[in-house]
Amino acid sequence: MKALHSLSAIAITASLVFALAPISQGHALSDTFETAPEQNADVVLEGKDAGPGYLVLSPVRSNGFLRQYEVQADPGIERLSGDGLLKLRLHELEVLSALAKLETEKSFLDGLTEAAKRPVGFVESTVTDPVGTAKNTISGVGRVFGRISKGVEEAVSGNAGSPADLAKSITGQAKARRELAVKLNVDPYTTYKPLSDKLDQAANVSTAGSLTVGVVLSLVPGGMISQVASTAESLRTSLIDSTPTELAERTAQTLRDDGISEQVITQLMHNEFYTPTERAVIAYQLRQFTTVEGLELLAAKAASAEGRDVAYFQLRRVVLTQYYNEKISGLASIKDVAGFPVAIRRDGVAAVIMPMDMVAWTESTASTFSSINEGLSGLPFPPTSVDFLMTGDITDMAAERIASFGWGITSNQPMPEGVVY
């Protein structure tokens, strides 16, 4: 197995040996390639390969860009592509385990008993035909429930969820679920069904069971409640207070305010590989650096994702690019370089920002990086140098080949704390 570079080793290689080398195509491709190394899960995850209800199987393989994981949990073996999706799932499993433990708490069990007598769907049972009744009483419902009137209209028109969804909104169960999820730092719209079911159960206890969200959270084992930076508080508040329809409207409007075209907005808002929360995060992140030209390129790449792994990669790239602009070096623009969004810093340096897990010099990676390097050389104003920033490891061979372009390399860059892993 090829040795993996630490951050300091990469910095020494890049800054001392190749810092003064011009961007060139001389070493773009090599006849020598390598197979991405296999690694033990306990090494990659630093001993966190096993936890409550899960085991990450070894060996962990890579496609030259992202690690490929197999996670054994109660539903069976799940395959996940990328460190980000793996860390997301492990946190969801941790929260799932914590919520399952609530069933050993007497007050929670009492709440479950009370909720069973008065389930969240009780609003539906008050009428034989809830939708039919709603058709005749939209104005009355609007006066009583305010913003719920729009939800009723959508339910009647068939543009929203079922009568059960409407009932959850009216009783407060839907908002309680969103608040519980956000404060546990999981996605209120998680697609992981075991966790989704537990959030529904806890929210039901909080509403029909007459326990406040605060009381339910107080029963959760210590250390699970999210503590986030104040800069993200507006997003958290929006996730809690907004219905799905309102969140979608706010996300789309934020993207418009970010200067994103209607075509890209429509494509992103209908991309099923993102949750509503993740679309909102993309819009929120882009809002943080609207002075940078070319944000449409980042948004368009995200909108065109054709798989869950690609979508999460694009989401992480948006977050990491915003972090780079704020914490590392100010950006002037985003350029399309050989089909990849590449940032140009205000000082003229190009920043190739990619949340990759394990870069090995395979034919695919060689082609990718060589194309970017050639594209940078062909810009009307080529960058003075190139900063390649990645979130994971890189092999000796990949580091040598990429550094031969004259690029500086930063590996093992942590993702910023927040809802994206």
69 in a structural domain: no
62 in a structural domain: no
220 and 130 co-located in one domain:
yes
Can you tell me which residue has the tokens 């590996």? 411
Question: Rounded distance, CA 343 to CA 62, Å?
Answer: 26
Domain interval for residue 402: 1-31+329-421
Q: pLDDT digit string (tens) for 342-357?
A: 999 999 999 999 999 9
Per DSSP (E only), the strands in 24-178 are 50-51, 54-56, 61-62, 67-73, 76-81
Lowest-confidence range among 196-205, 290-299, 309-318?
196-205
Q: pLDDT digit string (tens) for 352-371?
A: 999 999 999 999 999 999 99
Task: From 230, 257, 284, give the residue that closes a domain.
Answer: 230
Structure tokens at 59: 């060996």
Task: From 190, 213, 230, give the residue that closes a domain.
Answer: 230
208 and 141 co-located in one domain:
yes
Question: Rounded distance, CA 96 to CA 100, Å?
Answer: 6
244 and 345 co-located in one domain:
no
Residues 178 and 277: beta-carbon distance below 8 Å: no
What is the three-class DSSP state of 389?
strand
Distance between alpha carbon 280 and the CA centroid of its chain, in Å?
A: 10
Local confidence band at 121 (pLDDT 50, 70, 90 cut-offs): very low
73 in a structural domain: no
Tell me what percent of the residues of the chain surpass a pLDDT of 70: 76
113 and 189 co-located in one domain:
yes
| Per-residue confidence (pLDDT) for residue 8, from 0 to 100 | 38
Query: At a CB cut-off of 8 Å and minimum separation 6, what does 224 contact?
Result: 94, 95, 98, 184
Q: For the chain, how many structural domains are there in total? A: 3
Task: From 230, 245, 279, give the residue that closes a domain.
Answer: 230
Q: pLDDT digit string (tens) for 69-112?
A: 999 998 899 999 999 999 999 999 999 999 998 888 788 777 77
274 and 354 co-located in one domain:
no
291 and 337 co-located in one domain:
no
Amino acid at 373: N
| Per-residue confidence (pLDDT) for residue 23, from 0 to 100 | 36
188 and 253 co-located in one domain:
no
